C-alpha cells in the first residue's frame, strides 16, 4: 500500500470514528433526555409534596415526631402528598376519606407491607403477622387471629380483664407514686393471660412476661427508622453472619424467641389435652389449628404476635387516659357522676354495667382518638400502579396513614378537635351519636384500615373500658402540688416514642381514694373473684 493509500485509510478511519463517537454521544444524550422527561412527567403525575435534595429526597426532614410535620405539610400540599426517602416513594394519607378510599376500598392492592429485613425477615423469621407480607401464610394467620378475636370470643375473656383491673387498683392504693410501672405491669400480665390463659397465680406468667417485653423492645428498636443500614442497602443482607453483628444478633434472637414462644404454646396445648383450660387466644387457635393449616411454629408466633401488638399500645392508651383525667377535671367529675349512679360505692364496676355507662365508653373512644398510641399507622405497600384523583401512586410505594391528622381533623371533630372531649361521641341526651364517616363506628382511625385492621380491637376496647371505669370508681386523679401549692398540670405535648408507639413523658399524679371504704370494697371484690394479694408480687 502506498503512502497516499495509508493516508486515505487513516483519514477514513478517523472520520468513521468521529461519526461513531458523535452517534454514541447523541444516543446517550437522547436516552438521558428520555429518562429525564419520563421522570419529570412521572413527578408531575405524583401527588404534590415538599422539595428534597438530589438522591436523598426528604430524608433530612424526618423527625421522631414526623406525624406533626406531616400534618403541617397537609395544610400546604393537601390531603394526600408525596415524599421521597432515599429514592423510596412514600405517599401520605391525611384524612379518613382518602384512607378509606384507598386502604379499605382498594385493599386488594394496598394490603402488602414494606420489606423490613431485620425486624421481619431475620429477627422474627417472617412470622410476625403485623409485619407480614401479603401472601398465603399471612392470610392464614390473619384468618386464625380474626376467628380467635371476634366480639363474642372477646367476651369470654372478661373474667381475666376484671381480675387484672382489681390487681391494678390494689397496686395504685399501695404505691400510687409508681403508677406508671403498675400500668405497664398490669397490661403486660393482662395481655399475657388473655393470650395464654395462665392464671396470675402461675409463675409461668411472671417469668415469661419480662422475656416477651424484652422481645418487644428489640422489635421496636429494629423498626425505628435508620436503625439498620441494610434497610437502605439491601445487598448488605448477603454479608456472612460472622462479619455482620446486626445479622448475627438477629438470627440468635430469632432462635431464642422461637423456642420461648413454642414452649409457651406447648404449655397451653398440654392444658387443652388435660381439659378444663381457661379460655384464651392460644386455646382457641389450638382448637382450629388444623383448619387454618398452621404449623406449630407459625401458631406459636401468632400467639406471640398478639402479645407484642397489644401490651405496649394498651399501656400507652391507659397512660394517655390518666393524663387526660388530670388535665380535664370536669370530664373526670362527669364520668364519676355516671359511675356513682350506675355502680354506686358498695361494689366495683363490671362488664354488666357497660351498656348503662355511655359516658365512660365515650371516654374510652376519646382516649383512643385524642392521643393515638400509634400516630402513624404501620405503612402499607402498593402492589401495582394506581391512580387516585388524578394522581399516580406508583407500584411499590410506601403508603402511610397519618392517623394523628385524621383523629385531629377539625372538619370531622369540630374546632376543638385538639381537646379531650368525650361529649363529641354523644348526642345532647347522652346517647351515642353516629360515628364520623369512614371510622367503622369506632369514632377514630387508631385501629387501622382494610385487611390490616386491628384484629384485637374488641379486646382492647373492653380492657380500656374496665380499667378506666375501675380507676375512676376508686380514685380522684390530680396533679402533684407545685411550690406555689397549685397542682402541676403535665403537658400532653411532652411525649416519648419507642418505635411506632407514642406515650406521654413521665409525669407525677396523685391517686386519692374517692371515699373511705375503697380498700374494703376492693378487698371484698377480690375475695369474690378468688384473688389474694399474695398471689403475685
Distance (Å, whole) CA 71 – CA 76: 9
Q: Rounded to 5 degrees, what are φ and ψ at 263?
A: -65, -45
* Residues flagged as binding site for heme: 454
Distance (Å, whole) CA 359 – CA 158: 20
Domains and their CATH numbers in the chain: 64-535 (1.10.630.10)
Helix axes 281-288, 136-148, angle to 10 degrees: 120
pLDDT of residue 34: 44
pLDDT of residue 488: 92
pLDDT of residue 205: 73
pLDDT of residue 33: 47
Dihedral (C-alpha) 454, 459, 463, 464: value to the nearest 10 degrees? 40
b vs e for 51-87, b when ≥16 Cβ sit within 10 Å of the residue's Cβ? ebeeeebbbeeeeeebbbebbebbeebbbbbbbbbee
* Residues flagged as binding site: 454
Helix (H, G, I), strand (E, B) or coil at 477: strand
C-alpha cell at position 300 = 406459636
pLDDT in tens, the chain (537 residues): 555 555 555 555 545 556 666 655 555 555 444 444 455 556 679 999 999 998 889 988 888 889 999 999 999 999 999 999 888 899 999 999 999 999 999 999 999 999 999 999 999 999 999 899 999 999 999 999 998 888 888 888 898 899 999 999 999 999 999 999 999 999 988 888 889 886 544 667 777 888 888 898 888 888 876 788 898 889 999 999 999 999 999 999 999 999 999 999 999 998 888 886 777 889 989 988 889 999 999 999 999 988 877 888 999 999 999 999 999 999 999 999 999 999 999 999 999 999 999 999 999 999 999 999 999 988 999 999 999 999 999 999 999 999 999 999 999 999 999 999 999 999 999 898 999 999 999 999 999 999 999 999 999 999 999 999 999 999 999 999 999 888 899 999 999 987 778 999 999 999 999 999 999 999 999 998 887 665 554
Cα–Cα distances (Å) from 402 to 277, 355, 417, 444, in that order, read 41, 32, 15, 12
Helix (H, G, I), strand (E, B) or coil at 371: coil
Distance (Å, whole) CA 215 – CA 252: 12
Amino acid at each position: 500500500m502506498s503512502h497516499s493509500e495509508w493516508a486515505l485509510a487513516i483519514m477514513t478511519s478517523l472520520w468513521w470514528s468521529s461519526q461513531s463517537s458523535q452517534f454514541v454521544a447523541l444516543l446517550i444524550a437522547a436516552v438521558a433526555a428520555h429518562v429525564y422527561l419520563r421522570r419529570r412527567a412521572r413527578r408531575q403525575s405524583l401527588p404534590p409534596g415538599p422539595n428534597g435534595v438530589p438522591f436523598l429526597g426528604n430524608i433530612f426532614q424526618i423527625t421522631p415526631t414526623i406525624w406533626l410535620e406531616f400534618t403541617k405539610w397537609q395544610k400546604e400540599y393537601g390531603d394526600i402528598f408525596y415524599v421521597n426517602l432515599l429514592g423510596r416513594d412514600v405517599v401520605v394519607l391525611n384524612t379518613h376519606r382518602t384512607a378509606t378510599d384507598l386502604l379499605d376500598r382498594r385493599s386488594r392492592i394496598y394490603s402488602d407491607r414494606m420489606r423490613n429485613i431485620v425486624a421481619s425477615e431475620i429477627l422474627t423469621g417472617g412470622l410476625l403477622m403485623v409485619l407480614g407480607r401479603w401472601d398465603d401464610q399471612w392470610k392464614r394467620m390473619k384468618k386464625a387471629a380474626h376467628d380467635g378475636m371476634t366480639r363474642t370470643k372477646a367476651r369470654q375473656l372478661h373474667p381475666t380483664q376484671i381480675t387484672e383491673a382489681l390487681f391494678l387498683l390494689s397496686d395504685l392504693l399501695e404505691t400510687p407514686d409508681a403508677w406508671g410501672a403498675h400500668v405497664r405491669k398490669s397490661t403486660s400480665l393482662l395481655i399475657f393471660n388473655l393470650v395464654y390463659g395462665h392464671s396470675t397465680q402461675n409463675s409461668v406468667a411472671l417469668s415469661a412476661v419480662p422475656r416477651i417485653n424484652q422481645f418487644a423492645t428489640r422489635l421496636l428498636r429494629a423498626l425505628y427508622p435508620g436503625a439498620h443500614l441494610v434497610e437502605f442497602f439491601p445487598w448488605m443482607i448477603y454479608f456472612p453472619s460472622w462479619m455482620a453483628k446486626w445479622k448475627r444478633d438477629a438470627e440468635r434472637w430469632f432462635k431464642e424467641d422461637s423456642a420461648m414462644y413454642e414452649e409457651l404454646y406447648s404449655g397451653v396445648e398440654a392444658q387443652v389435652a388435660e381439659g378444663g383450660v381457661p379460655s384464651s387466644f392460644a386455646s382457641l387457635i389450638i382448637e382450629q389449628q388444623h383448619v387454618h393449616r398452621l404449623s406449630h411454629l407459625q401458631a406459636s408466633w401468632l400467639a406471640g404476635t398478639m402479645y407484642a401488638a397489644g401490651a405496649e399500645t394498651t399501656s400507652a392508651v391507659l397512660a394517655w387516659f390518666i393524663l387526660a383525667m388530670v388535665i380535664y377535671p370536669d370530664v373526670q367529675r362527669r364520668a364519676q357522676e355516671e359511675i356513682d349512679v350506675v355502680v354506686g360505692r358498695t361494689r366495683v364496676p363490671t362488664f354488666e354495667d357497660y351498656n348503662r355507662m355511655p359516658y365512660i365508653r365515650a371516654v374510652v373512644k376519646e382516649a383512643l382518638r385524642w392521643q393515638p398510641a400509634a400516630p402513624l399507622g404501620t405503612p402499607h405497600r402498593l402492589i401495582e400502579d394506581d391512580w387516585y384523583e388524578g394522581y399516580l401512586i406508583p407500584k411499590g410505594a410506601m403508603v402511610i396513614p397519618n392517623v394523628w391528622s385524621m383523629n385531629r381533623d377539625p372538619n370531622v371533630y369540630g374546632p376543638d378537635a385538639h381537646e379531650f372531649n368525650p361529649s363529641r361521641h354523644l348526642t345532647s341526651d347522652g346517647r351515642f351519636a353516629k360515628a364520623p364517616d369512614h371510622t367503622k363506628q369506632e369514632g377514630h382511625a387508631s385501629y387501622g384500615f382494610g385487611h390490616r385492621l386491628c384484629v384485637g380491637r374488641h379486646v382492647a376496647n373492653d380492657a380500656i373500658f374496665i380499667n378506666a371505669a375501675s380507676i375512676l370508681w376508686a380514685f380522684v386523679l390530680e396533679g402533684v402540688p407545685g411550690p406555689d401549692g397549685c397542682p402541676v398540670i403535665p403537658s400532653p405535648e411532652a411525649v416519648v416514642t419507642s418505635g411506632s408507639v407514642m406515650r406521654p413523658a413521665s409525669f407525677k399524679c396523685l391517686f386519692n381514694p374517692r371515699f373511705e371504704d375503697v380498700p374494703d370494697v376492693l378487698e371484698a371484690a377480690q375475695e369474690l373473684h378468688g384473688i389474694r394479694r399474695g398471689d403475685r408480687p
